[in-house]
Structure 1
Amino acid sequence: MGPSASLRLIRTAPESAPATPRVLGVDEFARRKGHVYATVLVDIENRRVVDLLPDRTVETVSAWLAAHPGVQVICRDRSGTYAEAGRLGAPGAIHIADRHRLWHNLAEDEEKTVIQHRALLPEPAPVVDDEPLAVVALPPAISSPRTTGRLADRVREQHATVHTLLDGGIALRTIAQQLGLARNTVRRRLARATEHDERLVGQWTGRASILDSYKPHIDQRFSQGLSNARRLFEEIQQRGYPGKQQIARKYVHQLRDAFPRQDPPRRKPSVRDVTRWITRHPDRLSAHDAQRMKEILARVPALAATAEHVRSLAELMNHRRGRHLKQWISAVQNDQVPALTSLATGLLPDLDAVVAGLSLRNSSGAVEGHNNKIKMLKRQMFGRAGFDLLRLRVLHSA
């Protein structure tokens, strides 16, 4: 049997009339996204597709409801089309607006408010006076000539060896040959020194550096929070530093060792971060995120008011207190947060359905699941057949 014959058999297969559901879910799905839309009807209690309608007009949906009396509850979005169709086709039915979509719309409007204040999300930069900041006070290990290390230890060892050989009656020339040093070095720097004190080591290790005149600038910038060695090198290079980057890098590393930073620099919070922090339950936030959100809300009063309204609506949804929705709408309108005010005002024409959605247990969750299945079947059938075959496949797969 060929594909065309199989399709003819499916089209001519008898349909069993489903029982009229008591709780009906209504939603649209795209036959051709942005151009043609149809309607899916789902029995919420049994979670099964009842029928597919070829469009989403008031006439089509109301006619189906009139032909199938017995629907007591209609779960839908806040679309005016399905609201009007329900009033005409099933005038006694209770309408329940989808609370999950309401929460999604609330998050979108909250994100708009966060975007409006995105410039205030990062922590304000510290105020720097015109007067230069105090230079970092370095410990003696950094600011003084170094008296430890391989070079200092080698000088002390050579000093002791030279004086031991001199006490044994060995000439300076012979000592210089044995140690591999210049004769003048042995005579002037080692033989004439009576003891290996710090001044002897300082003659070798405490020489002036070409970085010395630029260290105050590095210290000042380091005290302001800049610890990147390359950036500090570029700054002093612009001020005439003729040396290599390695010398500056070594000095910056000494500053890091002397003044370790306990807290690494924090990443600037993004719009998505703040939106997520506000919409998430406070108990599910980490201590770090909760602290950052607290700081942001203290700086931005508009976001603080938005967060308060978001949490209030979340409490209404979680505890099914839809009867308090009017008070929530009034509070939002009084605070005059533009994005949330628009959402709150848009709830008034369909207030009874929204209150029912926040009070009753029924929802449109099952409809959303079948919408995803319809999308899968559409991809499988792409270019193969029209709406009549799609309807049969959805009904039989259900």
Structure 2
Amino acid sequence: MKFRKSPPNIVKLRFEKELEYQVWGNHLLRLTWTFVAMVMMVELAIFAFKKLNGGAENTEEYLLIYIAAPTLISVSILAVTHAVSRRLLARGQYSTQAYLYLFCLSLLCFMLALAHNAVPVVYVIFIFPVLLALIYIDDKLLRGVFCLNFFLYLLYIGGLYLAYGHTQWIRKPDFVNVLTAAALILAGYMSAKMSLRRQNSLVYSIICAHELTKMDSFTGLYNHAAFYEKLSARIQEYHQSFRPFSLIVMDIDDFKQVNDQNGHDAGDKIIMTLVSCIKANLREDEIACRYGGEEFTIVTNRVPDEDFALAESIRRSFEEAARRIGHQPSATVSIGIARYDAKRFGARRQFFSAADEALYAAKRSGKNHTLVWREDISVFNIQRT
């Protein structure tokens, strides 16, 4: 399958693979615990300073409002977040885990701002989760975190106005400070969005350059090295999801004779004819590679029988296309299929060898065949149409 250019926000990428969302999530969770611990230590230091200077008149109330209650609530939020994140991790829901961590951090910022409402600078703390969302390089996530935190900011300011006069530790917000903080939060989001676009453009360029090193320049398919990389990734995915998949290996019959009798230009034309047939039959989630010379591979997620139907469709369409371009005798292709079984194939090389054995058994049995690998190589399920 050829590499198609996508819009710059392709840098959403594949969550758990390219950007290692799980790793970033662990960093973010540790940062949040550190944040809570630092806030508690700063509060204790402020309390000790005030106590030494006679500023803490009501010790019990101060400890309750500014230290005990915020710390207890913070630890409770983090404990629940940690428990839920473990469940999400077990299900492989890495993107949801990212939302959860940033939601947790937003709640902690809301609580911190509420406890220290007398300090105007605390109003802008709601920009903190928005800036941290940049590490995921995900525009949708960034927008969602901004909307959440701006809503929490409005809720916070509205709550202060409503509660003012009913509780002595609530201070009435200054209107200028409120507008300034709102403007700073919005400006922070716009700056983060522009930064994200630049990151998207840069990373997209890197991905394109890296992807091109995996491509076969003549056919536009993935090359030999990329094949084993993609196969390894699909095997790892199988061990997580147990979704069945197959490996199809095909080789143009008597290709050396085609080159010797008709020249390399004719051979190139035959190769591109097969490539066109492969591309025409592939789905978006399937990977086609040029393994080498006239040999090609396909990693397909189709279930048994459907993988055989795919191989047969390619075989028949190639035979017809080769005949239409005037190649005499008509060029044909032999195909071998192996269906992944973790108990039988311990490594990718063993899996490929099984499909390769099926391919060469097809050639020995008369060529222009599609064969499915079996445990006993002498008893192949030969299906020819």
Shorter-chain TM-score range: under 0.3
TM-score normalised by length of structure 1: 0.24
Structure with the higher fraction of residues in helix conformation? 2
TM-score normalised by length of structure 2: 0.24
Structure 1 or 2, whichever has the larger Rg, is 1
Identify the structure with bigger relative contact order (alpha carbons < 8 Å, sequence gap 6+): 1
